[in-house]
């Protein structure tokens, strides 16, 4: 038997990244595309994904925190990098040529002090809270805040952003209201002679809300091959595979895993996978999710453990230890999508991608292999 490794192998298809980016570009025309590569590029590997995006002509990326941006710079990524959430003002902003997003006046003042001390100019984007209720300047304080920020020495307003509160834009009226509030702030800036790059459109907006495209769009999930927003087919980058650690036979009436939540209603062939919730396969998938073995679906039985997961192989003939098991992806005519696994686990695709993608060994496929 082949030596078994814990966890899964995550295959990342970079050809599909190119396909999805081109699809987005066709959709938004001449607007800039700012890919979101935070959280390790949604579990796909921030450095590897960013390297390809730059190769495909992307000149601006977005991350959540300064540490993520520094990782990209140290890996040789030379594009503009927007830091969305960090409020810490450190020398790294200047050292690594980062573009911080301003969510409060205190951050802007501290950045101005840094710029003055170093006799440098820092380009910034301003975040307007048009309805997310998370970070950014609220509608009633934005104009006053922007006026003060524009007067601070060493800062140059190069961008204006916001974020939709409905990730899937299920309520278009709410989204339209956010775009309207955002446009009011943009007009105020233009009246001050400031013309920043405006971006609010997320993946859902790219697919369904052309009026939100403005100067740039900021896709995340769509880029990685998930599109719950429209019928347009994108190509998933991630496949998740493992191998059977063991094949066992139990008698009718015997139980499987903790809590005896699965009782065999017949003599059952049980497959044991070297993957558990420590590897990102969520415990909430217990007794619910399905995987693919020898081109056929096999249900997860019993509770997902920290290091192991059990599946029912009774109806699949010829299975042996070491056989490939597909957790996400295709095998033969059968497939399991990230969206399906998310639904079975009672969560969202984002959590599946970031959980499984960042906790297992990744390999990258390009040019068909």
Contact between 219 and 202 (Cβ < 8 Å): yes
Active site residues: 38, 258
- Cross-strand pairs, 32: 216
Single out the residue of 364, 273, 291 nearest to residue 4, CA to CA.
273
Q: Write phi, then psi, for 36 (nearest 5 degrees).
A: -90, 115
d(CA 209, CA 203): 10
> What does the pLDDT look like over 213-263, one tens digit per residue?
999 999 999 999 999 888 899 999 999 999 999 999 999 999 999 999 999
Residue 1: its pLDDT value, please? 46
CA nearest neighbour of 366 among 43, 52, 5: 52
Burial of 161 (0-12, 13-18, 19+ CB in 10 A): buried
Q: In a 3-state reduction of DSSP, which class is residue 107?
A: helix
In which residue are the tokens 């062939």 written?
Answer: 269
SS3 362: strand
Q: Counting Cβ atoms within 10 Å, is residue 42 exposed (0-12), middle (13-18) or buried (19+)?
A: buried
The mean pLDDT value for 58-87 works out to 98
Instruction: Check residue 283 and report its DSSP letter.
Output: G
Q: What is the pLDDT of residues 275-327, one digit of tens each?
A: 999 999 999 999 999 999 999 999 999 999 999 999 999 999 999 999 999 99
Distance CA 229, CA 237 (A): 18
For residue 3, name the pLDDT band (cuts at 50, 70, 90). low
Euclidean distance between the first and the last CA atom of the chain, given in angstroms as a whole number = 26
Q: What is the pTM of this model?
A: 0.94
* Contact in structure between 226 and 17 (CB atoms under 8 Å): no
Lowest average pLDDT, out of 14-28, 103-117, 172-186, 334-348, goes to 172-186
DSSP track, 33-68:
E--B-HHHHHHT-HHHHHHHHHHTT--EEEESSHHH
Q: Give dist(CA 196, CA 2) in Å, integer.
A: 57
- Domains contained in the chain, CATH given: 14-224 (3.20.20.10), 238-365 (2.40.37.10)
**DSSP 8-state class, residue 148:** H
């Amino acid at each position: 038997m082949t030596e078994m490794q814990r966890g899964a192998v995550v295959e990342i298809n970079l050809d599909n990244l190119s396909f999805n980016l081109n699809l987005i570009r066709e959709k938004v025309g001449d607007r800039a595309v700012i890919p979101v590569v935070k959280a390790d590029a949604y579990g796909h590997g921030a450095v590897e994904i960013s390297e390809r995006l730059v190769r495909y002509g992307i000149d601006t990326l977005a991350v959540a925190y300064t540490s993520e941006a520094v990782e990209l710079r140290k890996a040789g990524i030379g594009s503009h990098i927007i830091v969305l959430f960090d409020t810490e003002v450190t020398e790294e902003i200047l050292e690594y040529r980062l573009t911080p997003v301003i969510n409060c006046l205190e951050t802007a003042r501290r950045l101005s002090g840094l710029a003055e001390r170093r006799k440098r100019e820092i380009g910034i984007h301003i975040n307007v809270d048009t309805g997310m209720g998370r970070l950014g300047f609220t509608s009633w304080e934005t104009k006053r805040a922007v006026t003060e920020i524009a007067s601070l020495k060493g800062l140059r307003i190069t961008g204006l952003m916001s974020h939709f509160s409905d990730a899937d834009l299920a309520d278009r009226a709410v989204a339209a209201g956010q775009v309207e509030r955002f446009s009011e702030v943009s007009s105020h800036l233009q009246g001050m002679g400031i013309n920043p790059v405006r971006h609010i459109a997320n993946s859902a907006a790219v697919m369904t809300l052309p009026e939100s495209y403005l100067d740039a769009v900021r896709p995340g999930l769509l880029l990685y091959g998930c599109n719950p927003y429209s019928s347009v087919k994108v190509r998933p980058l991630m496949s998740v595979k493992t191998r059977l650690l063991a094949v066992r036979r139990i008698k009718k009436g015997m139980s499987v895993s903790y809590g005896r939540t699965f009782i065999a209603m017949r003599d059952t062939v049980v497959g044991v996978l070297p993957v558990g919730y420590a590897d990102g396969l969520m415990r909430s998938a217990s007794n619910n999710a399905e995987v693919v073995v020898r081109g056929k679906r096999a249900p997860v039985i019993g509770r997902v453990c920290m290091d192991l997961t059990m599946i029912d192989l009774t109806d699949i003939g010829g299975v042996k230890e070491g056989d490939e098991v597909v957790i996400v992806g295709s095998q033969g005519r059968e497939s399991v999508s990230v969206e399906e696994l998310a639904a079975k686990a009672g969560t969202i695709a984002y959590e599946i991608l970031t959980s499984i993608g960042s906790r297992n060994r990744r390999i990258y496929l390009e040019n068909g292999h």
